[in-house]
Chains A and B, each alone.
Chain A
Amino acid sequence: GESVGLHLPTLSVQEGDNSIINCAYSNSASDYFIWYKQESGKGPQFIIDIRSNMDKRQGQRVTVLLNKTVKHLSLQIAATQPGDSAVYFCAENIGGAQKLVFGQGTRLTINP
């Protein structure tokens, strides 16, 4: 069945370094992907999205890469800052479906 999972549950990086958070998905019919950031005690916050007809999309300090061949999604955060510490979730939407399927999340910790 469909599933969205993450390779690593935790990731620690030094402040100022770049970080990469990975996500694998299993449903080849997925056509829309989103990354959310969730800080403690708050709801998930939209970061960036990408549709299946693209393989890369850039935002402010963030880049999402989509590799449909291996069903892999990644979020790259450039020059990480303390405020980037949070849990990051990937989510997929399967074409025609009415819900997002979320992964388990990766906790990103920024070390000073």
Chain B
Amino acid sequence: GAGVSQSPSNKVTEKGKDVELRCDPISGHTALYWYRQSLGQGLEFLIYFQGNSAPDKSGLPSDRFSAERTGGSVSTLTIQRTQQEDSAVYLCASSFTKNTDTQYFGPGTRLTVL
């Protein structure tokens, strides 16, 4: 594909359930980012992967949040024991190399926790 893709586009879950959100970055991009966007708000950084380096997890809001990037490509963001305050749009972005290269965003996954 030409751009960053994310799945699912929408996810509705019940409080306490675990969810997995997927991101397929642009082919060849070594850097991958996850952000969270609450309704009407800006983007909140969650986690950053760069090649084989240890990820920067400084933005994860709690230990219920985790992310993996397998094979340097696809990434999965997992939220365990979801809470209503986790409801937001989760955006993934990738860039060619490091953080100062342009980040290209996917369409996001809208998560609703009931």
Given A41-B107, A42-B107, A99-B33, A105 and B102 touching (CB < 8 A)? no
State the CA gap A103–B58 with chains docked (Å). Answer: 18
B62 at the interface (CB under 8 A from A): no
- A-binding segment of B11-19, B39-47, B78-86: B39-47
State the CA gap A98–B100 with chains docked (Å). Answer: 8
B105 at the interface (CB under 8 A from A): yes
B65 to A: closest C-beta gap in Å? 15
Chain A hits for B108, CB < 8 A: 42-43
Q: For chain A, which range describes its interface: under 10, 10 to 19, 20 to 34, or 35 or more residues? A: 20 to 34
Whether B50 and A100, one on each chain, are in contact in the complex, defined by CB atoms closer than 8 angstroms, is no
Chain A hits for B107, CB < 8 A: 41-43
A101 at the interface (CB under 8 A from B): yes
* Chain B residue nearest to A91 in the complex (CB): B43
**Per-residue contact bits, chain A 85-100, to B (CB 8 Å; 1 contact, 0 not):** 0000101010001111
Whether B48 and A45, one on each chain, are in contact in the complex, defined by CB atoms closer than 8 angstroms, is no
Given A104-B42, A105-B42, A99 and B59 touching (CB < 8 A)? yes
Q: For chain B, which range describes its interface: under 10, 10 to 19, 20 to 34, or 35 or more residues? A: 20 to 34
State the CA gap A102–B91 with chains docked (Å). Answer: 13
Whether A34 and B102, one on each chain, are in contact in the complex, defined by CB atoms closer than 8 angstroms, is yes
Q: Which 4 A-B pairs have the closest CB atoms?
A: A43-B105, A102-B42, A99-B45, A102-B43
30 CB contacts below 8 A, A to B, read A32-B100, A34-B102, A41-B107, A42-B108, A43-B91, A43-B93, A43-B106, A43-B107, A43-B108, A45-B105, A46-B104, A49-B102, A89-B43, A91-B43, A93-B99, A93-B100, A97-B99, A98-B50, A98-B56, A98-B99, A99-B33, A99-B48, A99-B99, A100-B43, A100-B99, A102-B35, A102-B42, A104-B42, A105-B41, A105-B42
Q: Which residues of A contact B (CB under 8 A)?
A: 4, 32, 34, 36, 41-46, 49, 89, 91, 93, 97-105
